[in-house]
Each structure stands twice: as structure tokens, then as C-alpha cells.
Structure 1
């Protein structure tokens, strides 16, 4: 299936595996790439040296294109961009809008720039700055998310920009891919669905918690860092919501020191990143500290398996996922179902695959 996305990044299928912190490591990214989709390596929780090593590990496992997700507001974003360029990464993905200068540097080196956005105005801004494509996440998506559903947000963005649009938030099968294409998107991005594969390094006990969840077990809370965050509801999340700002702040202070050690950031860099995080969001300093704590809460669950001490970011689709296929099987399944649906459409539907 050829679309504007497959032509732009050089993959066989219009499917993107999102850059999930502590989840989208070399094993998952390379498995996705070998399946013909676009795998995106999550780098925000890595030191710069670890990022370079992770990129090289992915390249040792696959010859297919892949991407790296960066925090555009990180104090060392420029250094990480240069690592990507030096290592020949095909796609740069951003959770926040990268500066025009970063976009220009990447494009000059031949790297495809594909930021994630949650509003029409953000898509318009990065498109004007030279982004090659955008991933549009609706409110159904996991992690930090917005209020507007994908079915409302996606057509707004498709109508507003003239670059390929990738739909995210609520996708898990071939039906969703066909629906996204019908809206005018060039492909879909999935996070939770790729997390729940046999190639994901998330502990089996944690995957079992996701598989057991119903749609109602996926909640949206501001208790973690003051920003809307979609995750599985657990007793620990209930405790966070009942603890209040002071109790959560005490936990955050302890974990922030641990994140500083793991990320390799100095105290000065963490302060600078905190200032960047506050920009345009009117966050208090306590919220900034809680935000710095979030990676450690995610790590507790997604790496250590401690769901009693961590959080599990999740899209609403967790409530309808029931198995753990390999990335290869997942991509085959999505594409086969999509092809069957399009073949069954009235005359003209098959032209969507042209």
C-alpha cells in the first residue's frame, strides 16, 4: 500500500510505531522496521551516549528506515540532532514543536522531520516552519493527550496543511487504517498496540494488566504532573489522586534525583528543561517537579514491573486488545484486514491503495 507517508520515509506499510519512553527501545523498533512499518526510538530517557549506542543497535538489527523521537525543549536537543545526523537516522520525531532552526538543520541533512501535534494550530505552525509531515494525536491516545477526539481533530488538520498527516489515538487494526485514509490521512500511528506485542520488552506481568483492562479502566488524570495524562487506572493512581499536591511533591523530589542519574542531566540542565516545560503552560514549579518525576513513575512499571509504584501510560484501545502478536504478525494482520475492507467497498475504493 503506497501513500504519501510510505513514499516520504521509505517504508512498505503506512504504519508508525510511536516513540514510547522506556518501551520503544532497539528491539521493538527493529522488529517494527523489519515488519515494514516505521519504528521510532524513544530517546528522552537516554543519555546522549546511550542514544548513539541504541541507534547503532537498531542499525545492526535492520536495514530498514527508522526514526528517533526527541524532546524539542530539551537543553541538549541540538546535540541529539547532530548524533542522529551523524548516524544516518531517516526520521526525526518530536513530542513538542521543534524550533525552525532545528527543522532546517535536519532537513539540510536529509532527515525527515515529523512532529507530533494535538491541535490544528500546532500543525499549521510546524508546517509553516518546514516540517515534512505531522502525527496528529486525538484525545484517545495514551500519555499526555488533548481533549479533542481523533475523529474531530484529524479532518481539521488534514484540511489545514498540505503535508502528509499521520493519525494517532484510537488505532489498533485495519479498520482504523482504512478510516484514517478515508479522512485524508497518509497512515496511522499506534503506541499501545505495539506495546502489547511479543517484541515489546515490557514485563509480561505488566502486559497482562493491560490485556485485562476494559475501556473503562483507562483513565485521564492530572494527578501525576498536573497535565492531562491517559493511563491505566490502578490503586497507585488512586493514591496519587488522593494524596494531594504536597504528598506527591515529596515523592517527586526523591525520584527527580534518580532521573537525573539515569538521564545524565546536570542540575542546571534539569532547571533549564523545567523552564522550557513551563513556557506557555503556566505551570507552577511544583508541577514542573512532578513532570520531571513522570519518567521515573513510568520506568517503575514499564521496566521494573512495579505497577504498585509506577504508572502505565495507555490509549483507550487497551480495552479492546486481547493478544500479544509479534510486530510482523501485527502489521500483516492490519494490512490484510485493510485490504479486505477496501476490496469490499463499492467501485473506487480500491483506488485508495494506488
Structure 2
């Protein structure tokens, strides 16, 4: 299946594995790309040196194109961009709108730039700045998310910009891929579905918590108590305790993160401010934003589902298996082919 996404990035199938902190490392990205999708390394939780090692690790495992997801508000964003260029990475993705100068530098070096957005105006902005494509995530998606459903946001963005649009939020199978194409997208991006694969490094006990979440309406919740902005996560007793948290819990968690990261209190607070995304937050939320990596790491690396935060899309309620990335992508493409054939039958009647 050839679309603007496959033409732009060189991947065989129009399926993107999103950059998920502590989840989307070299192992998952390489498995996705080797299977024909576009694997993406999540670099926000890596140092520049660790990011470089991960990039080289993927290149050792596959010669297929892959991407790296960056934080545009990081102090070392420009250094990271130069590293991507030097290492020959095909795609740079951004969880936030990248600065205009970062897009220009990447484009000059031939690196495809694909920011993620949650609103039409943000898509229009990055398109005007020269982004090559955009990932549009609707409210069903996991992690940081907005209030507008994919079925409404996606056509708005497709109609508003003249660059390829990749749909995210609520996708897990071939029917969804065909639906996204019908809306005018050039492919789909999936996070939760790739997290729940055998190639994902997430501990088995945590994967089981995801698989046990069968209610698409109740088993995830959008909370601002993780880092001050809307964040869709699995509903757990720990998350419910965060919902009731005040400054004291944030300070305790902040102290834990400070010990782990080696940051001073001043650096911790500056990091929290950087993660505010221009929102008005309380001091508790500023500290919580800074120590968000601890909450993610507790679950995704340490296997402590009882003490960590697990980002999740609503799609978790319809996922019940752990295929390999290759099995998943082959299944999605077969389902998409069948859906297209069914539509052709309808058209001919």
C-alpha cells in the first residue's frame, strides 16, 4: 500500500509506532521498522549519548528507515538535531511543535520532520513553518491528549493543511487504517497497540494490567495531576490517589526524582516550568511535571504498576493479545486489504 507517508519516509506500510518514553527504545523501533512500519525512538528520556547509542543499535538491527522523537523545548534540542543529522536518521518527530529554526535545519539536511499536534491551529502553524507532515492525535489517544475526538479533528486538519496528515488516537487494526485513509490521512500512528506487543520492553506484569483493562469508557482517565496538562492514563488506585494529591505528595515525588536524576532543586523547578507548555500551574503541578519521568519509569521499567503511571489510549479496551510487531503489521495490512475489497463490493452493487 503506497501512500504519501510511505513515499515520504521510505517505509513499506503506512503505520507509525509512536515515541513512548521508556517504551519506544531501539528494540521496539527496530522491530517495527524491520516489519515495514516506521519505528520511532523516544529520546526525551535519554541523554544525547544514550540517544546516539539507541540510534546505532537500530541501524545494526535493520537498514529500514526509522525516526527519533525529540522534545523541542529541551535545552539541548539543537545538539540532538545535529546528532540525528550526523547519524543519518530519516525522520525527526516532535511531541510538541518544534521551533521554526529546528525545522529549517532538519529540512536543509534532508531529514523528514513530523510534529504531533492536537488542534487544527497547531497543524496550520507547523505546516507554515515547513514541516513535511503532521501526526494528528484525537482525544482517544494515550498520554498528552486533547478534548476533540479523532473523527472530528482529523478531517478538520486534512482540510486545513496541504501536507500529509497521519491519524492517531483510537487505531489498532486494518479497519481503522482504511477509515483514516477515507478521511484523507496517509496512514496511522499507534502507541498503545505497539506497547502491547511481544517486542515491547514493558514488563509482563504491567502488560497484564493493560490487557485486563476491558472497559473503553472507564479503564482510562484523563487527569491533569501527572504533569499539569491533560494526560490519558490507565485508571489505577495510584492515579486516583494522584487525583487527591496536594503539594506534599508532589514534593516527596520531586525529591525522589531529584535523587535519581542528580538535578538540584533549582534545576528541578526549571524542568517543571519547561514542561508546563505555557499553562498556569500550581507549584505542586510544576514539581509533578518535573518528576513525571519517575512515575513513568516506575511502571514501564521497574514493573511497579502500583506506584507508576501508565499512559494509555482508550483502544486498550479492545486489545487482548501480544503479537510481535511483524505479526501485528502483517495482520493490520491483511485486514485493510479485506476492508478495501469489501468496500469495492459495495461500490459495484
TM-score (norm 1): 0.94
Q: Which runs of 5+ in 1 are unaligned?
A: none
> What is the SS of the residue equivalent to 1:101?
helix
Structure 1 residue 285: deviation in Å?
3.7
> What is the SS of the residue equivalent to 2:246?
helix
Deviations 1:117-147 (A, max 9, x none): 0000000000000000000000000011100
Q: How many residues align?
A: 346
Distance 2:313 2:108 in 1: 35
Q: Is it true that 1:290 corresponds to 2:279 in the alignment?
A: no
* Correspondence for 2:258: 257
The worse-fitting range, judged by mean Cα deviation, of 283-292 and 39-48 is 283-292
Q: Kindly indicate whether the alpha-carbon contact (under 8 Å) linking 1:120 and 1:153 is maintained by their aligned counterparts in 2.
A: yes
Structure 1 residue 247: deviation in Å?
3.2
> What is the SS of the residue equivalent to 1:224?
coil
* Correspondence for 2:207: 207
Structure 1 residue 267: deviation in Å?
6.5
Distance 2:265 2:108 in 1: 33
CA 1:238–1:272: 2 relative to 1, 3 Å: closer
> What is the SS of the residue equivalent to 2:74?
coil
Structure 1 residue 348: deviation in Å?
9.5
> What is the SS of the residue equivalent to 1:250?
helix
TM-score (norm 2): 0.95
Q: Is it true that 1:219 corresponds to 2:217 in the alignment?
A: no
Structure 1 residue 161: deviation in Å?
0.3
Structure 1 residue 223: deviation in Å?
2.0
The worse-fitting range, judged by mean Cα deviation, of 280-289 and 303-312 is 280-289
1:234 pairs with 227, 233, 236, which one? Answer: 236
> What is the SS of the residue equivalent to 1:116?
strand
Distance 2:109 2:320 in 1: 42
Structure 1 residue 258: deviation in Å?
4.0
Q: Which runs of 5+ in 2 are unaligned?
A: none
Deviations 1:265-304 (A, max 9, x none): 7776655544433453223343222111111101000000
Q: Is it true that 1:104 corresponds to 2:104 in the alignment?
A: yes
Q: Is it true that 1:280 corresponds to 2:248 in the alignment?
A: no
> What is the SS of the residue equivalent to 2:344?
coil
CA 1:104–1:266: 2 relative to 1, 3 Å: farther
Q: Kindly indicate whether the alpha-carbon contact (under 8 Å) linking 1:168 and 1:189 is maintained by their aligned counterparts in 2.
A: yes
Structure 1 residue 227: deviation in Å?
1.4
